[in-house]
Structure 1
Amino acid sequence: MHYPSLSALIADSKRALSKGPICLILIEDQIAVDATIRHHAAAGFGSLIAFCDPAITLPDLAEAPLHRVNHAVTDKDALATIVNAVSAAATGSWVYYCYNAEFLFFPFSEHRSIAEMLIFMTEERRDSVMTQVIDLYASDLTAHPDGVDLETPYFDSAGYFALTKQDATGQSLERQVNIFGGLRWRFEEFIAPARRRLDRVALFRAAKGVVMGPDGHFSDPEYNTYACPWHHSPTAAVCSFRAAKALRRNPGSRHAIDSFYWHKSEPFSWQAQQLLDLGMMEPGQWF
């Protein structure tokens, strides 16, 4: 289904948003659009919704319902506008968001669906899944000048760290952290401070009155936590070429960076087990 605007999608929410989990994909350019959509269709989402410019080409998809919505996703606060509108219209549904050239991995995703994990999260009385963004990149920028290599991508196997989130008075917030690392840490001089964080609440259950702010945090503090109070919870990873694309698109960083490769670069296997082994996500009590 093709919707001319976000408001048109919301007006038809009984059809477009009735089958979850819902996957929202904000498409900024034509890079890896087909791969992104097909990856998330294979993960088991009930509905996929692509927000993009009318000039963007989308694949013909038989695996899952794909809706297209005309929207300027590069506008300021476009993400929060989309997420909050969909959340208000799909209360009770699990919602996931990402951009093109980003790929969700969760524990055991090689042989389990996203719906299976979210059933467990609901049983655990969790309304969100903390995800860590893992920067993917091409090792050879001559062969892949846009920084994207879907065939042989690399990522940083080390160099990540977490700092406890604090409130306006400087008090630590319980079970909330800011995560840093990857390309955004190694090339931080080219990255705005607000864009250096790797933590993201990319999976959440829409609830009445719970909204996302411009910084990606939710108005209910419990949504921003990485685990429940009584034990560890499953977490997930969003493997993303977005930072690599930005560093190659920006004239200053493009001419200053000869390679993203360093001694801690490791080939990405496109397997969740690799990320589990490195501690980049965890299954919690889900086995």
Structure 2
Amino acid sequence: MPHHLSLKNFLKDAGSALAKGPVALIFVEDDVEVGTTLRHHINCGFVSVVAFMPDAFELPEDIAEKVHRVTYSMMQDQALETAVNAVIAAAPDIWLYYCYNAEYLFYPFCETRSVGEMIAFNTEERRDTILTYVVDLYADNLEKFPNAVSLDHAHLDRSGYYALARNKPGTSWPEERQLDFYGGLRWRYEEHVPEASRKIDRVSLFKSAKGLALQGNHTFNEPEYNTYACEWHHNISAAVMSFRTAKALKRNPGSSFDIETFQWHNSAPFDWHSRQLLDLGLMEPGQWF
């Protein structure tokens, strides 16, 4: 696949990369698990996988021909929203997905069904989004894995998740079918996490549309895109299994030395299987069986 030297060049020369969805947009913040992240989403069945990453990071040779690489720095202000919104504007009316490196999409029955099959069913239900919950992963031994990342020793919290009503801006009136979800490491170590970053809900899978814009808090400017379900029944939801918070808590000097382990009585090994997440209530199949 071509190496695009900038976001502008990618949008100009994307061609087939943005001709048909679903398209995965992977934003690389560091060099941790870049290859496994890209391979995972290739295996999910995305039509195109686009890696936004600095030139300093290497793209594994075995997937270089399967990934559109875009030179891009995540150090700039609003880097994620800028890129996602530019893609939305350039390619309206296709399904998009976004995540960071060391994050892995899981959805009901993902072991035997492609992401395209899930989107096709969701479209039949007249839904243009699939809500995802960012579920924190962390290594069980921080002495052995000081950056808190280990796929073979990954753990998650099996409880401690909750939701609060999301009020309309500037009022005490709740938004219809919108909730703010919390839990995981951002809940357990909230004193080290800015309030604006504590939510774990993210509309990671969505259909692009003219005028649609991703906002800084992982919501969209279209209210219906931020709902967890339609008016008449529950819908599919998915999970983004993420080492991102664990990495940040161990990288930040203000929190790193306060944390000797992320393990607690509600930690459990992650099986890397959708059944575990369904059993824990961290995603649901809705009417998809």
Classify the TM-score, shorter chain: over 0.9
Within 5 Å, give how 1:6-155 maps onto structure 2. Answer: 6-61=7-62, 65-155=66-156
Q: TM-score, normalised by structure 2?
A: 0.97
Instruction: Tell me by how many angstroms 1:65 deviates.
Output: 3.1
The letter for the 1-side match of 2:249 is L
Q: Quick one: distance in 1 between partners of 2:55 and 2:256? A: 28
The letter for the 1-side match of 2:48 is S
Secondary structure of residue in 1 paired with 2:56: coil
Question: Greater CA deviation, 6-15 or 30-39?
Answer: 6-15
| 1:277 correspondence with 2:279 | yes
Within 5 Å, give how 1:250-269 maps onto structure 2. Answer: 250-269=252-271
Q: Quick one: distance in 2 between partners of 1:134 and 1:195? A: 14
Q: Quick one: distance in 2 between partners of 1:88 and 1:125? A: 22
Instruction: Tell me by how many angstroms 1:16 deviates.
Output: 2.3
Q: Which runs of 5+ in 1 are unaligned?
A: none
- Shift in CA distance, 164/219, structure 1 to aligned 2, threshold 3 Å: same
Contact 2:166 2:180 in 1 (8 A): yes
Secondary structure of residue in 2 paired with 1:280: coil
Instruction: Tell me by how many angstroms 1:67 deviates.
Output: 0.5
When the two chains are superposed, the root-mean-square deviation of aligned CA atoms in Å is: 1.1
- Cα distance per residue 1:191-236 (max 9 Å; x no partner): 1111111000000000111111122210110000111111110000
- Cα distance per residue 1:46-73 (max 9 Å; x no partner): 1000001100111234597310111111
Q: TM-score, normalised by structure 1?
A: 0.98
- Shift in CA distance, 64/133, structure 1 to aligned 2, threshold 3 Å: farther
The letter for the 2-side match of 1:179 is F
Instruction: Tell me by how many angstroms 1:268 deviates.
Output: 0.1
Contact 1:91 1:208 in 2 (8 A): yes
Who is 2:199 aligned against? 197
Who is 1:243 aligned against? 245
Instruction: Tell me by how many angstroms 1:264 deviates.
Output: 0.1
The letter for the 2-side match of 1:199 is D
Q: Quick one: distance in 2 between partners of 1:214 and 1:78? A: 10
- Shift in CA distance, 128/64, structure 1 to aligned 2, threshold 3 Å: farther
Secondary structure of residue in 2 paired with 1:256: coil
Secondary structure of residue in 2 paired with 1:230: coil
Contact 1:129 1:202 in 2 (8 A): yes
Contact 1:46 1:65 in 2 (8 A): no
- Shift in CA distance, 19/274, structure 1 to aligned 2, threshold 3 Å: same
The count of aligned residue pairs is 287
Contact 1:43 1:109 in 2 (8 A): yes
Q: Which runs of 5+ in 2 are unaligned?
A: none
| 1:215 correspondence with 2:217 | yes
Question: Greater CA deviation, 181-190 or 11-20?
Answer: 11-20
Secondary structure of residue in 1 paired with 2:25: strand
Q: Quick one: distance in 2 between partners of 1:14 and 1:122? A: 24
Secondary structure of residue in 2 paired with 1:237: strand
